[in-house]
Structures are given as structure tokens and as C-alpha cells.
Amino acid sequence: MACPHPAHGQNWPTFLKNDAQLVWACEFLPVIDLFFRQIYAFFIIELGSRRVVHFGVTSHPTDACVAQQLREATPYALTPRFLIRDRDSKYGDDFTRVAKASSTEVLKTPYRAPKANAICKRFLESVRRECLDHLLVVGGRHLHREIKEYVEYFNRARPHQGIGQRIPRGTVPLPAWPRRGRLITVPVLNGLQHDYGCAV
């Protein structure tokens, strides 16, 4: 039995609610560096868990580049059932072929429907607000390093309202904290964010 989705007549909000575990979404985030050069960060997110599956940084976001990012995000046949993307021309024939080869159905967001990829858009706002707005990016390598640290923090330690204050990698129950011990904080991104733990 085929899973219901917009192509089968189900509206977007219902589809995203019912099939979130089967769906990934991708989006570009343009960044202007210190020397007024435009760099693009590309993200793929699993909607059900809010986990950032993959990211890449490039100055030239061509169809071939985006297709390669999708290959890197889907090793060992670990692929989604659906992949949401917008109607940007960066997603071309190469991207479509890679998705089709992995049995992933690409869903284009409807025209004039910014909420169709709302989870991805909200993540991009978090990246800007919690990371990039506090930095002067000096180039692609610097941007990659900072985003890598933020993504590790986002996946491993940052709680999300949309999934009941759990963390993306927290779908498996964690062992209970000891009743005694000292609370410690670990700075992330040179103190922009903090991760917390218990020292016993």
C-alpha cells in the first residue's frame, strides 16, 4: 500500500504530521563572509527526529554539487522514502537521478507555500540566530568548521519543542542521572551555547 502524500491528494500539513519519520527535507542557507563573498551551506534534515543528517558548504552550488551532497548523505542505502525540496534551479537532473537511484521520491514544495518546508526553515533560523549572527565568517573552511560544531551540538544536546523537548539523538531513553554529583557545563562555539552534564 502506497504511503499517502501530497501527490496522492493529501494536504501538506497532514502529510508532514503522519509521515514525518519517512521524510527528509533539504535547503540552502546563503552566507556572506567578511570579504563580501557569498557562500552556501546545504542541509538535509530528518523531519521526524529533527536530526541534521548531512551538511555541506560550497561557493558554487551547482546541480552536480547538490547531487554529490545527496550521495554523501545516503551511504549504505540509508535513504528516506520522501525528500522535500523547493523549486530552486540548483536541483537539476543529476540531483533527480541520484534520488531516483536510491528509491527516494522527491517532493517539490507548492508555489507560494513557505510553510511546506517549515521545519527546515526553522532550523535555518536557529543556525543564524544561535551561531552565524555572532560570527564574522572569513571563508568556506571557517564556515564549515563552525557549522560542524553547531550541528553536533544541535543533534546531541539541544532540546526541541516539536518533539516533546527531546534531542534529535535522544529517541533512545538515556540512563537516569545519578542522584548525587556535580552539574558541569561545556561551552560550545566558544561559549555561544552550552551543553550540560553531571560529573560523578
Residue 177 lies in a domain: no
Instruction: Report pLDDT digits (tens) over 166-178.
Output: 677 654 444 555 5
Residue-level pLDDT at 77: 74
Residue-level pLDDT at 6: 55
Residue 179 lies in a domain: no
The set of cell numbers assigned to 100 is: 531516483
Contacts by 68-76, CB closer than 8 A, 24 or more apart: 69/42, 69/44, 70/26, 70/44, 70/95, 70/98, 70/99, 70/102, 71/98, 73/24, 73/44, 74/102, 74/104
Neighbours of 87 (CB within 10 A): 9
Residue 39 lies in a domain: yes
Residue-level pLDDT at 108: 92
- Looking at the structure of the chain, the number of domains it has is 1
CATH of the domain at 127: 3.30.420.10
Residue 151 lies in a domain: yes
Residue 155 lies in a domain: yes
Residue 191 lies in a domain: no
Residue 185 lies in a domain: no
Residue-level pLDDT at 113: 79
- The domain of 65 spans 9-171
Q: What is the pTM of this model?
A: 0.79
Q: What letter represents residue 136's amino acid? A: L
The set of cell numbers assigned to 113 is: 507555500
